[in-house]
Amino acid sequence: AQSVTQLDSQVPVFEEAPVELRCNYSSSVSVYLFWYVQYPNQGLQLLLKYLSGSTLVKGINGFEAEFNKSQTSFHLRKPSVHISDTAEYFCAVSDPNTGNQFYFGTGTSLTVIP
Choice between 42 and 80, CB closer to another protein: 42
* Residue 114 beta carbon to another protein: minimum distance, rounded to whole angstroms: 25
Q: Is 4 in the site for another protein (CB under 8 A)?
A: yes
Instruction: Tell me the CA distances in angstroms from 77 to 19, 64, 100, one per residue in order.
Output: 6, 5, 25
* Residue 61 beta carbon to another protein: minimum distance, rounded to whole angstroms: 17
46, 56, 60, 83: which one contacts another protein (CB under 8 A)?
Answer: 46
Choice between 53 and 114, CB closer to another protein: 53
Q: Is 57 in the site for another protein (CB under 8 A)?
A: no
User: Considering only residues 80-99, where is the footprint of another protein by CB under 8 A?
Assistant: 90, 92, 94, 99
Strand-pair category, 73-78 with 19-21: antiparallel
Q: Is 53 in the site for another protein (CB under 8 A)?
A: no
Signed CA dihedral, 41, 49, 90, 31: sign only: positive
Binding site for another protein (CB under 8 A): 1, 4, 32, 34, 36, 41-46, 49, 51, 90, 92, 94, 99-107
